[in-house]
Structure 1
Amino acid sequence: MTTYAAGGPNAAANANAALLARLERIPVTRRLSLIRIIIGTATFFDAYTVLVIAFAMPKLVTEWQLTPVWVGAILSAGYVGQFIGAILFGWLAERIGRLPTLLITIVLFVSMDVACLFAWSGASMLVFRFLQGIGTGGEVPVASAYINEFVGARKRGRFFLLYEVIFPVGLLFAGLAGYFLVPAFGWRALFVVGLIPAVLMIPLRMLMPESPRWLAAKGRFDKADQVVSMLEREAVKEGKPLPEPVAAPVDAQPTAASNWRELFRGIYRKRTLMIWGLWITVYLVNNGLVTWLPTLYQQVFKLPLQTSLLYGWITSAVGVVASIVCALSIDKVGRKRWYGIAFLAGTVPLVILAALGATTATQVVVLAPIAYAILQTIAFSLYLYSAELYPTRLRAVGTGFGSAWLRAASSAGPLLVGFVVADLGIRYVFAAFAVVTLLGAVVTMRYAVETKGRVLEELSP
C-alpha cells in the first residue's frame, strides 16, 4: 500500500480527488498530442483491417467461387472475433493495465494479418479473420478508455473525437487501397499494407505513460502522481497555462476492484442497456452497408470491379467528412441531442431507397452514402460516450462490453444483407435498415444521458 492510502479509505479518496483536480486542469501538451497520434495509428489500422476484406471480396468471389451466404459469413467472421476480443481485453485492461493490453491486441491482429496473406479458400479466410477480429475488437475500446482518462471535462469531447476520427479515415484508406491495389496487384496486397502497425506501434508505445486514473484506481498513487507531475512539468515548459487545481468530485471507492456485474446494478444498469441499444442499431446498419456495397455494385448492378470499388470508397469518404464535423461540434451540441437528430435524419434516405426500390446504382451511390455519413457521426463517437458513462474501475470493461455488441451487430449486418438479397431483393435491405435506425432514435430520446462538459467522476460515482 502506498503512503497516500495509509490513512485508510478517506485518505485514499482524498488523494484520488487531489490527483483528479490536478489532472482535470492540465492543458493539451505535446505529450498528450503524441499519445493521441500513437494510439491513433493503431486505431487507423484497426479500421483498415476491419474494412479491407470488403474491398478484397469482389476479387475473392470470382477466385474462390463464393456464394452470397459464404460472402456474408466471411465478412461476419471478423466481427464475431471482435465481439470476443472486446469483452476479453476490456476485462484484461482493468486488471493488468491499459498499455500491456494494447500491446497484446496489436501483436494479435498483425500476426493474423500475415496469416490472411496465405489464405487459400473461403474457409481458411473465415478462420483467420475470426482470430484477427479478437485482436482488433480489443484495441479500440481499451484505447478509448485510455485516452479519455487523460483529458479534462471541458475539452474531452473534441480531443477524443479528433483521435477517433482516425477510425473513419482508416476506413477511407481501405477504400483507396482497394481501388488502386486490387486491380494492379491482387487482393493480397491489401493485407501487406496492414502490417505497418507492427513496424510503428511496438517501439512507439515506450513513449506513453500508463493511465493515471487506472493507476489511482489500483491504489498506486505514487505512480499516478509521477505521471501527473510529468504532464504538469511539460505544460509549464511549453508555456501553457496551468491554473490552480479545483476540488474535483470525490470517488467514495477510488480503489474498488472491477466487477463486471456492477454494469447491471444501480444507475449503471440503465446506462448499460441504453448504450448497448445504440451500439447495436447504428452498427448493424452502417457496417452492413459499408462492407457489402462494393460487392452489391458488382454482383447486383453488374458494374466493373474498379467502379464498384470507387463507389464503395465514396461511402467511406463522406463518412470521414461527417465525422470531422461531429468532432468539432459535439461538445457544443451535446451527445444526446446529436444522436437523436442523427438517427432520425439517417432514417430518411433509407426510407427513400426502400420506396424507390433501389433499382439503379445511381440511387444507391447517392442515398446510401448520405445515410452512412449521418449515422457514422454516432458510430465513431460512441467510444467517447461509452467511456463517459462508467467510473474508472468499469470504464474499459464497460466500453468493451458495449463495443462487443457493435461487433455482434456488425456480424449480423452482412449476414442480414446476404440472406435478404438472396431471398427478397435489395430494396428490403434498406427497409429493414430504416426500421433499425428509427429504433435507435427511440432508445436515444427515451434513455440517453447527457455527458457534455461533466467531469468523469461526477458522472459516474
Structure 2
Amino acid sequence: MTLICTAVGGWCAGLASDRWGRVAVLRATIAWYAIATFLAGFAGGFDSLLVLRCLQGFGFGGEWAAGAALISEYAGTRYRGRVLGAVQSGWAVGWAVALAGYALAFSALPAAWSWRVMFWAGVAPALLVIALRRTLGDPPVYLRGRAKVSPLRIFRPDLLRVTVFGALLGLGSHGGYYALTTFLPTYLRGTRGLTVLGTTAYLAVFITASFFGYLVSGLLADRIGRRRNIVAFAALCLLSLPLYLLVPLNDLGALLASAPLGFFSAGIPGGLGSLFAELFPTAVRGSGQGFCYNLGRVIAAAFPALVGALAPRLGLAAGIALFAGLAYALAAVAALCLPETRADDGRVSGAAVAGGHAYGGPDPYGAPGSH
C-alpha cells in the first residue's frame, strides 16, 4: 500500500509542479513526508500504521517527481546525466545513515521501541524545507515554458509512445529493485543465517557499491547516451543476480558479490532522471516524469508480494532471482523502444523537441546555451 500511494503521490505532485512550480511542490512533499514518517512512530497497531504509511507514500513519491524536474531544468544538457546521477546517489547516502541507525537502535533498544525510533528520525528532512524556502527559486526555463495544459496531455498521440514505454521502463526498474532490496535483509538473516550486525556488513557493501553505481551511471549517460546506459546496466543486473543468489558461495564470496550487485542495480534508476526529463516538453515535464517513474511502483508493489508468496515453494533466493530478472529484462526492452535523447550538438532530441512544437516552437529546455 505504501508503494501504491507513492505512485499516486508522484503523479499528482508532478502535475502540481507543472502548474504551481517545482520548488513549492517540493517543499510541500518533503514536509508531508517528514510529518507522516514521524507520526508513524506513534502507531498503535496494524491499521493505524497502514494509514500512516500510505500518507508517507504520497509525500515520498511526490518528492522525486518535483525534485527531478527541478534539478534537470537547472542542469545543462551536456552534464545533465551526471548531475542527476549525483543527486540520485543521495539515496545510497541516506540508506547508509538509516542502516547505521538501524544497527544502533536494534542493538541498544528493546524491540518494542527500536522501530519507533527509526520512524521518529524520519522527521529530519523537514529541515530541508527551511533551506529551500530561503535559497531556491524555480528554474528560468520552467518559468518561460510553463503553460496550462490538460493532465492527459502526456497521453496524446505525439507523446503516447514515450509515455507508455517510459512507464514500462519505470516498472522494470522498480520491480527489479524492490524484488531484490525488500527481501535482501530477510535473505541475509534467514537463508545465510546472519545476525543483525552481520546483515549490516553485507548491506554496507551493497549500499557503498550502489553509491558509485549512481555516479558512474550518470557519467555514462552523458558519454554513451541515456538509452544505451540503461540497457547496459540492465544486462549486467541479469548477470549478477544468479551469481549472488543461486551460485553456492561462502560468506566471504557472498560479501564480495554484494558489490557488483549493488553497483549494477543502482545504474538503472541512476540514469532514469535525465532520460525522462528529456522525453517531455517543459509544460508537462513534471507530469510525464512523475507518471513514468511512479506508475511502475503500482505494479512493482506486487513483485515483493510475489517473491514472498512463492518463497516457500521455490526458496527465497530463487524467488528474488526470478522476479528481479524478469523486471530487469523488461527494463532493457522498454529502453530499446524509447528514443535516444542525448545529442552531440547539445540539443535535446526526440520527443522533447517534437512535443515542444505543440506549444509553438522547440522546447527551450534543450537549446544550446540556455543554461
| Matches for 1:127-146 after TM superposition, within 5 Å | 127-146=51-70
Counterpart residue identity of residue 382, structure 1 = L
Structure 1 distance, partners of 2:36, 2:334, is: 37
Structure 1 distance, partners of 2:143, 2:297, is: 29
Structure 2 distance, partners of 1:288, 1:131, is: 23
Counterpart in 1 of 2:218?
327
| Matches for 1:344-355 after TM superposition, within 5 Å | 344-352=235-243, 355=246
Counterpart in 1 of 2:121?
193
Partner of 1:452: helix, strand, or coil?
Answer: coil
Counterpart in 2 of 1:385?
275
My pick for the range that moved more, 385-394 or 197-206, is 197-206
Partner of 1:194: helix, strand, or coil?
Answer: helix
Partner of 2:341: helix, strand, or coil?
Answer: coil
Structure 2 distance, partners of 1:119, 1:310, is: 30
1:448 and 2:338 equivalent?
A: yes
Match of 1:309 among 195, 200, 206: 200
Counterpart in 1 of 2:266?
376
Counterpart residue identity of residue 108, structure 1 = W
1:327-348 deviation per Cα after TM superposition (whole angstroms, max 9, x unaligned)? 3332112111111111111101
Q: State the identity %.
A: 25
- Structure 1 residues 177 and 409: alpha-carbon distance in aligned structure 2, compared to 1, 3 A threshold: farther
- Structure 1 residues 418 and 123: alpha-carbon distance in aligned structure 2, compared to 1, 3 A threshold: farther
The offset of 1:369, in angstroms, is 4.9
My pick for the range that moved more, 423-432 or 77-86, is 423-432
The offset of 1:434, in angstroms, is 1.8
Partner of 2:193: helix, strand, or coil?
Answer: coil
Q: Is the 8 A contact 1:335 1:450 kept in 2?
A: yes
- Structure 1 residues 433 and 365: alpha-carbon distance in aligned structure 2, compared to 1, 3 A threshold: farther
User: Normalising to structure 1: TM-score of the pair?
Assistant: 0.69
| Matches for 1:10-409 after TM superposition, within 5 Å | 77-185=1-109, 186-218=114-146, 255=147, 257-352=148-243, 355-356=246-247, 365-367=255-257, 369-409=259-299
- Structure 1 residues 151 and 435: alpha-carbon distance in aligned structure 2, compared to 1, 3 A threshold: closer
Q: Is the 8 A contact 1:94 1:258 kept in 2?
A: no
Alignment coverage as a number of residue pairs:
346
Counterpart in 1 of 2:308?
418
Structure 1 distance, partners of 2:254, 2:315, is: 14
Structure 2 distance, partners of 1:194, 1:430, is: 31
Structure 2 distance, partners of 1:409, 1:316, is: 25
Counterpart residue identity of residue 201, structure 1 = V
Partner of 2:301: helix, strand, or coil?
Answer: helix
- Structure 1 residues 89 and 124: alpha-carbon distance in aligned structure 2, compared to 1, 3 A threshold: same
1:142-190 deviation per Cα after TM superposition (whole angstroms, max 9, x unaligned)? 1111121223222222233222221222223222222233312322232
List runs of 5+ in structure 1 lacking aligned partners.
Answer: 1-76, 219-254
1:343-367 deviation per Cα after TM superposition (whole angstroms, max 9, x unaligned)? 11110122345653x6876665554
Partner of 1:386: helix, strand, or coil?
Answer: helix
Structure 2 distance, partners of 1:300, 1:327, is: 34
1:202-240 deviation per Cα after TM superposition (whole angstroms, max 9, x unaligned)? 34422111232222234xxxxxxxxxxxxxxxxxxxxxx
The offset of 1:410, in angstroms, is 4.3
Q: Is the 8 A contact 2:85 2:218 kept in 1?
A: yes
- Structure 1 residues 415 and 108: alpha-carbon distance in aligned structure 2, compared to 1, 3 A threshold: same
- Structure 1 residues 147 and 362: alpha-carbon distance in aligned structure 2, compared to 1, 3 A threshold: same
My pick for the range that moved more, 102-111 or 181-190, is 181-190
Q: Is the 8 A contact 1:290 1:312 kept in 2?
A: no
- Structure 1 residues 316 and 410: alpha-carbon distance in aligned structure 2, compared to 1, 3 A threshold: farther
User: Normalising to structure 2: TM-score of the pair?
Assistant: 0.85
Structure 1 distance, partners of 2:83, 2:241, is: 32
- Structure 1 residues 320 and 409: alpha-carbon distance in aligned structure 2, compared to 1, 3 A threshold: farther
Match of 2:329 among 417, 438, 441: 438
Question: Highest CA radius of gyration, 1 or 2?
Answer: 1
- Over the aligned positions, Cα root-mean-square deviation in angstroms equals 2.3
